[in-house]
Amino acid sequence: MTLTIDSASLIEAKSGPRRWQMLIDGKWTDGEVGLEGERVSPGHGIVVSRYAFGSEADVNRAAIAARRAFHRGPWPRMKASERAAVLLKTADLIDSRREEIARLDAIESGKPIRQARGEIAGAADIWRYAASLARTLHGESYANLGDHMLGVVLREPVGVVSIITPWNFPFLIVAQKLPFALAAGCTAIVKPSEMTSASTVLLGELLMQAGLPDGVCNIVLGTGPEVGQHMVQHPSVDMISFTGSTRVGKATVAAAAQTLKKVSMELGGKNAQIVFPDADLEAAVDAAVFGAFFNAGECCNAGSRLIIHEAIAKDFLAAFAERAAKVRVGDPLDEASDVGAIITPAHLAKIGNAVTDAAADGASVFLGGAEIQSGAGQYMAPTVMSGVKPEMAIARDEVFGPVLSVLEFDRIEEAIHLAESTDYGLSAGVWSRDLDTAVTVARAVRTGTVWVNTFMDGYPELPFGGMKQSGLGRELGKNAVEDYSEAKTIQFHRGPRTAWWVGN
């Protein structure tokens, strides 16, 4: 399989690599040490962005600014309706710059431009949802504690939040965190992935335009070790909201424990789609192709395991191959592309090794299995490994590429057992027209989300997050703002002292 990246696209991707600075205390700034980064477009193999990278000193500057804005600035003290107005204005500004933001995410992450547009529209919707929650956050009161006592539970913002995001959904994932933290009255330090920072920096520009006070949202660019680690350890930070790999997530929780910070973790997944013979098989085939290859499989929610009833496995895979052949892998800037490029050459090599190792373990390459020669950038063919056994690495470890593992079952108990045989617990899909089957599986699997006869839909109203080693806590949903708050109990005593401690 070959692919040609045309020169017009190369020129468009290249059109003046922009240089992006950090936002600290309302000012655009380079790092104190003078570190620099650059991004080579995965789809085109050319430099498309340059960044001012920060270090510990810049994290410190950002933490001081965020602390000051929290203790002395107007943001936590404003009416919720005023904070909501800033979030709504930000959503409008996101809409007005949608094309530009989508293009930044497409050239830096390699995702197809059509998909990127949808993600930016989805992000604006989440900012609006967070604005609505800002105004409904409230505490509790207890007038049932006796005539002399009134108990009140306030919800106060947790403080300064460090927000750390990955490269696969740069603009969407920050939207799952930042607006909710802001809605609660928190201040923040945000670090996007070193590879896909541009759209987050542009968001900083929009926030300032929307009227966010200085120091409330600080954006520090750079690597995990140079920047992220210090954001996790800094004594002025109260909470960590992290999305990324389970490996780094565990290290982050351990580091945050030293100062007992609140943590929210969205980590990896090895998600199963379980297909029973009575399902709408045409729909299930389409969803299986989508689940495996959407965002080139570089997706925490990827349906990277197909658990299929042995009676229908052969026909299902034949239909899958037919549909997968229609998936257009191509230039992220091409309107026709369904799947774009792989994030880096090193990651492409890692995906290739996972396929080779699986074959050595006894699995078979049913479809694809190799990179696509393109002359520029790096691309991987949609790949299916059949004959996978649950003990193989390809069945248990996250590949984070367009590689589907197929496992077969006979009885429902076996399907559930297979689905459960990984350390992850992010999401799962069940395909059956039988209510009993669907309910049994949906209740048995330990994942944060289960889709029944659909896959990978998402709504701001519905909580999202993982069980087991896929995470801690939930994002989105009606409690998303509350998660960035602390409960404070106040007890009001009325009248003469009722219980003297020293005899009176």
| Residue ranges that bind ligand NDP, judged by CB under 6 A | 164-169, 173, 191, 193-194, 223-225, 228-229, 232, 243-245, 248, 251-252, 266-269, 300, 398, 400, 426, 466, 471
Positive or negative, the CA dihedral 80, 82, 86, 91 is: positive
Helix (H), strand (E) at residue 24: strand 22-24
- In this structure, what token pair is assigned to residue 438? 């669907």
Could you count the other beta carbons within 10 Å of the beta carbon of residue 433?
A: 12
Beta carbon nearer to ligand NDP, 149 or 467: 467
Positive or negative, the CA dihedral 474, 185, 252, 175 is: positive
CB of 161 to ligand NDP, least distance (A): 14
Alpha helix stretches (DSSP H) within 135-186: 170-175, 178-184
Q: Contact, 5 vs 332, CB < 8 A? A: no
**Residue 72 carries which side chain, given as an amino acid letter?**
R
Instruction: Look at residues 311, 268, 304 and name the one whose alpha carbon lies nearest to residue 289.
Output: 304
In angstroms, what CA-CA distances link 170 with 30, 280, 317? 21, 34, 33
CB of 282 to ligand NDP, least distance (A): 29
Which residue has the closest beta carbon to ligand NDP?
224
- In this structure, what token pair is assigned to residue 194? 């070193």
Q: Contact, 369 vs 45, CB < 8 A? A: no
CB of 268 to ligand NDP, least distance (A): 3
List, as one string, the DSSP characters of 472-504: ES-BSSTTTTGGGEEEEEEEEE-SS-SS-SS--
Beta carbon nearer to ligand NDP, 160 or 267: 267
By residue count, the chain amounts to 504
501 CB-near residues (< 8 Å, 6+ apart): none
Catalytic residue (one of 194, 300, 398, 475): 300
Beta carbon nearer to ligand NDP, 257 or 490: 257
CB of 474 to ligand NDP, least distance (A): 10
Beta carbon nearer to ligand NDP, 5 or 161: 161
CB of 343 to ligand NDP, least distance (A): 8
CB of 491 to ligand NDP, least distance (A): 39
Could you count the other beta carbons within 10 Å of the beta carbon of residue 397?
A: 18
CB of 160 to ligand NDP, least distance (A): 16
CB of 170 to ligand NDP, least distance (A): 10
Beta carbon nearer to ligand NDP, 229 or 405: 229
CB of 364 to ligand NDP, least distance (A): 26
* Rounded CA Rg of the chain: 24
Rounded-to-integer distance, Cα 276 and Cα 281, Å: 9
Catalytic residue (one of 266, 298, 398, 408): 266
266 catalytic? Reply is: yes
Rounded-to-integer distance, Cα 287 and Cα 305, Å: 12
300 catalytic? Reply is: yes
Beta carbon nearer to ligand NDP, 126 or 232: 232
Buried b or exposed e, range 370-394, using 16+ CB within 10 angstroms: ebbebebbbbbbbbbbbbbebebeb
Q: Contact, 402 vs 292, CB < 8 A? A: yes
CB of 361 to ligand NDP, least distance (A): 21
Beta carbon nearer to ligand NDP, 3 or 351: 351
Beta carbon nearer to ligand NDP, 53 or 316: 53
In angstroms, what CA-CA distances link 144 with 85, 149, 254, 399, 489? 36, 8, 41, 55, 15
Rounded-to-integer distance, Cα 500 and Cα 489, Å: 22
Helix (H), strand (E) at residue 332: none
Beta carbon nearer to ligand NDP, 176 or 337: 176
The residue assigned the tokens 């078979």 is 364
Give catalytic residue positions. Answer: 266, 300
